[in-house]
Every structure is written in structure tokens, then in C-alpha cells.
Structure 1
Amino acid sequence: MNSQKETADRSPSTPGHLVPFDWDDFEARYEEALKDANRQEQDLLEEFETLIKYFNVWAAAASVHDTERGVKRLQTRERYVKIAEQSLSQKKKHLTEVVRAFQSALALLSQS
């Protein structure tokens, strides 16, 4: 009858007798897992800092390169403008001489 009472007291969801849990071991494993996670995080942060240094060097080099290219482009444009101004000045001078020649020719024709 005692066995029937134990069976009646236990429902299908009741697991029965639980063994004592070692909370000290659990706490020690938990702390060790946290320390391990902190070490991994620290390693990742150190790797990230190293990569940031490489990125900064790369970015600075790219910036210098872009600045040099910009200066060269500006110099090329300045040369182009100077050549265009010289060409325009020569055309203006030539056309001024042509106009003077026509004026001289008209003056000679009007005197006759």
C-alpha cells in the first residue's frame, strides 16, 4: 500500500528524487567561462586595435595619394589655361593686325 501511495503522490511531471546539485562547482565553472569570454573579448579588442592602426596608415596613404593627384590635376589645368590664353592672345594680335591692314587699304583706296 505504501508503494501505491508513492505512485499516487507522483504525477507524470514529477521526476521523483533529485540528486543534490553542486552549486559550488557550477559557480566555479560559470566564473571560469566568464574569464574565458573576457580573454577572448580582450584578444578581439587587441586584434581590432591592430587592424585600426593598419587602416589609419592605409587611409593616410590614400589621402596623400589623392592630394598629390589633385595637385597634378590642378597643374595640368593651369597649363591648359595658360596655353589657351596664349593662343587667344596670338589670335587677337593677328586679328588686330588684319584689321589695321584693312584700314590702311581702305585709307589708300579712299585717297585715290
Structure 2
Amino acid sequence: MIDIKINITDRNGNKHEVSAPTDMAMNLMEVVRSYELAPEGTIGVCGGMAMCASCQCYVLSNTELPEMSDDEEAMLSEAFDVKANSRLGCQIQMTPGLNGLEVELAPEC
């Protein structure tokens, strides 16, 4: 089992360094939920299907991420508070290459 370190700034501006397993097929949204870094019912509303943007985050590090899917791009085109570095947490799978990833949760819609 390989755990990676991720830095997450919650919606109140508090920074958290968390460990995320890479062998459990978790995505960033699920990591945020497991550490309760957003109130229940405010993140991952669609269950991780790239259909709601409640898990939108801003990528602050230069960590190389997987290509954005058409579904993710379409959802972000309709979301609020989108920035050039916006991604959907549900679309970022935890892999060893993401060690050191730094993100900030977007404001609740």
C-alpha cells in the first residue's frame, strides 16, 4: 500500500495535509469526504459522476494531472466560480504521481 500526501485548503481557508491511499481506487472528492473537510451534503452531491461540480477545486501545485475528460470540461463550463486551474475532484484518481498535490476547495454553490 502506498499512501501519498496531499495538501487541501478547505472552504474556510484552513490547510490540511492528509494521507491518501493509492490502492483503493479513491478520487480526490472521496478523500475530502473521508477527512470531513467539507460539510456533509456539500461535496460529491452527484456521487462522483461529473454532473454537479460540488467537488470543484483549484489546483495550486504544478502536479501533472490526467487529461480532463469531455464530461468534466462540459460540467466546468456550466459551473460557478470556475478558474483556469479548476478541476472536479471526483475526476482526479489517487495515484503515486499525485504525491504533493495541493488544492483549494472552490466555494460552495
Q: More strand per residue: 1 or 2?
A: 2
> Larger Rg: 1 or 2?
1
Q: Kindly indicate whether structure 1 or structure 2 has the higher relative contact order, using CA contacts under 8 Å at least 6 residues apart.
A: 2
Q: Taking structure 1 as the reference length, what is the TM-score of the superposition?
A: 0.11
Q: More helix per residue: 1 or 2?
A: 1
